[in-house]
Amino acid sequence: MIKTACGLDCPDACGIEADRNSFPKIKADKEHPTNNGALCSLLNRHIWQEERIRKARVDSKEVSLDEAMEEVSLALNSNSLLWRGSGNFGVMQEITNLLFSKIDATTTKGSLCDGAGDAGIIAGRGVNRILPPEQIKKSEVVVVWGKNITVTASHLMPYIEGKKIIVIDPIETPIAKKADLFLQIAPKSDFYLAIMLARFTIMGDHEDREFLDKFAPEYDDFYDFTRGFRVKAILEHIGVDLSIMGEFLEHILNKRVVFLVGNGVQKYSIGNYVLHAIDSLASTLGLFGKEGCGVAFLGNSKLGFNNPFEISGKKVQKATTNFSDFDTVLIQGGNPVASMPNSSRVIEELKKCKRVIYFGLYENETSEIADIIIPAKNFFEKDDVRLSYAHHIVTPMRKVIDINFGISEYDFVLTLFKKLNLGNLKSEKEYINLWLNQCEKVDNYYISPAYQEIPYSDGFGEDGDDEFEFIDDFEDEFENNKRLTRVRKRKKDEKIIDEYWLITSKPNNSLNSQFKRDNKITIHPDLGFNNGDRVLAYSKWGEHEFIVKNCSNMRKDSVLIYNNSLGVNFLTPDIISDEGNSACYQEVKIKLKKI
Render 395-458 in DSSP notation, one character per residue.
Answer: EEE------SS-B-HHHHHHHHHHHTT------HHHHHHHHHTTSEEETTEEE-TT--SSTTSS
Contacts of residue 162, defined as CB under 8 A and 6 or more positions apart, other chains included, come to none
The rounded distance, in Å, linking the Cα atoms of 557 and 533 is: 19
Nearer to Mo ion among residue 152 and residue 395 (C-beta): 152
Nearer to Mo ion among residue 89 and residue 410 (C-beta): 89
Q: What is the dihedral sign for C-alpha 14, 18, 22, 23? A: positive
Smallest distance from the beta carbon of 400 to ligand MGD, in angstroms? 14
Smallest distance from the beta carbon of 55 to ligand MGD, in angstroms? 15
Half-sphere exposure of 492 (CA within 13 A, CB side): 0
Nearer to ligand MGD among residue 105 and residue 357 (C-beta): 357
Nearer to ligand MGD among residue 284 and residue 364 (C-beta): 364
Residue 314: CB atoms within 10 Å: 14
Nearer to ligand MGD among residue 202 and residue 559 (C-beta): 559
C-alpha distances in Å from residue 130, one per residue of 296, 308, 338, 435, 546: 7, 22, 29, 18, 38
- Return the one option of ligand MGD, Mo ion, none that residue 388 interacts with (CB less than 5 to 8 A, by type): none
Task: State which residue has the least CB distance to Mo ion.
Answer: 113
- Return the one option of Mo ion, ligand MGD, none that residue 333 interacts with (CB less than 5 to 8 A, by type): ligand MGD
Rounded to the nearest 10 degrees, how much is the dihedral formed by the CA atoms of 151, 157, 163, 167? -10
Smallest distance from the beta carbon of 497 to Mo ion, in angstroms? 32
- Return the one option of ligand MGD, Mo ion, none that residue 328 interacts with (CB less than 5 to 8 A, by type): none
Smallest distance from the beta carbon of 534 to Mo ion, in angstroms? 30
Name the DSSP class of 468.
P
C-alpha distances in Å from residue 245, one per residue of 145, 147, 165, 201: 15, 20, 15, 10
- Return the one option of ligand MGD, Mo ion, none that residue 572 interacts with (CB less than 5 to 8 A, by type): ligand MGD
Query: Are residues 131 and 258 in contact, defined by beta-carbon separation less than 8 angstroms?
Result: yes
- Return the one option of ligand MGD, Mo ion, none that residue 335 interacts with (CB less than 5 to 8 A, by type): ligand MGD
Beta bridge partners of 36: none
Nearer to ligand MGD among residue 283 and residue 364 (C-beta): 364
- By CB under 5 A, the count of residues binding Mo ion is 1
Render 489-547 in DSSP notation, one character per residue.
Answer: PPPTT------EEEE----TTEETTEE----EEEE-GGGS--TT-EEEEEETTEEEEEE
Nearer to Mo ion among residue 53 and residue 112 (C-beta): 112
Smallest distance from the beta carbon of 331 to ligand MGD, in angstroms? 8
The rounded distance, in Å, linking the Cα atoms of 385 and 92 is: 7
Nearer to Mo ion among residue 113 and residue 338 (C-beta): 113
Smallest distance from the beta carbon of 80 to ligand MGD, in angstroms? 16
Nearer to ligand MGD among residue 139 and residue 152 (C-beta): 152
Task: Show contacts with Mo ion in window 30-89 (CB under 5 A).
Answer: none
Q: What is the dihedral sign for C-alpha 121, 126, 129, 134? A: negative
Smallest distance from the beta carbon of 117 to ligand MGD, in angstroms? 9
15-18 and 2-5 strand pairing: antiparallel
- Return the one option of ligand MGD, Mo ion, none that residue 152 interacts with (CB less than 5 to 8 A, by type): ligand MGD
Smallest distance from the beta carbon of 263 to Mo ion, in angstroms? 6
Judge residue 594's burial from the number of C-beta atoms within 10 Å of its C-beta, 0-12 exposed, 13-18 middle, 19 or more buried.
exposed
Site string for Mo ion, 112-151 (x = CB under 5 A): -x--------------------------------------
8 binding Mo ion? (CB under 5 A): no
- Return the one option of ligand MGD, Mo ion, none that residue 555 interacts with (CB less than 5 to 8 A, by type): none
- Return the one option of Mo ion, ligand MGD, none that residue 568 interacts with (CB less than 5 to 8 A, by type): ligand MGD
Nearer to Mo ion among residue 111 and residue 328 (C-beta): 111
Nearer to Mo ion among residue 107 and residue 301 (C-beta): 301
Smallest distance from the beta carbon of 46 to ligand MGD, in angstroms? 10
C-alpha distances in Å from residue 76, one per residue of 328, 418, 420, 536: 6, 13, 9, 40
The rounded distance, in Å, linking the Cα atoms of 335 and 357 is: 12
Q: Which residues bind ligand MGD (CB under 6 A)?
A: 9-10, 85-88, 112-113, 145-148, 151-152, 168-171, 173, 187-188, 190, 262-265, 267, 332-336, 338-339, 359-362, 364, 376, 378-379, 503-506, 508, 510-514, 563, 568-569, 572, 585-586
- The crossing angle, in degrees rounded to 10, of helices 242-252 and 231-238 is 80
Nearer to ligand MGD among residue 395 and residue 469 (C-beta): 395
Residue 427: CB atoms within 10 Å: 11
Q: What is the dihedral sign for C-alpha 361, 362, 365, 367? A: positive
Task: Show contacts with Mo ion in window 84-113 (CB under 5 A).
Answer: 113
Smallest distance from the beta carbon of 217 to ligand MGD, in angstroms? 29
- Return the one option of Mo ion, ligand MGD, none that residue 88 interacts with (CB less than 5 to 8 A, by type): ligand MGD
- The full 3-state SS of 4-56, as one line of letters, equals EECCCCCCCCCEEEECCCCCCCEEECCCCCCCCCCCCHHHHHHHHHCCCCCCE
Smallest distance from the beta carbon of 143 to ligand MGD, in angstroms? 10
- Return the one option of ligand MGD, Mo ion, none that residue 585 interacts with (CB less than 5 to 8 A, by type): ligand MGD
The rounded distance, in Å, linking the Cα atoms of 500 and 489 is: 19
Smallest distance from the beta carbon of 262 to ligand MGD, in angstroms? 3
Residues at the interface with Mo ion (CB under 5 A): 113
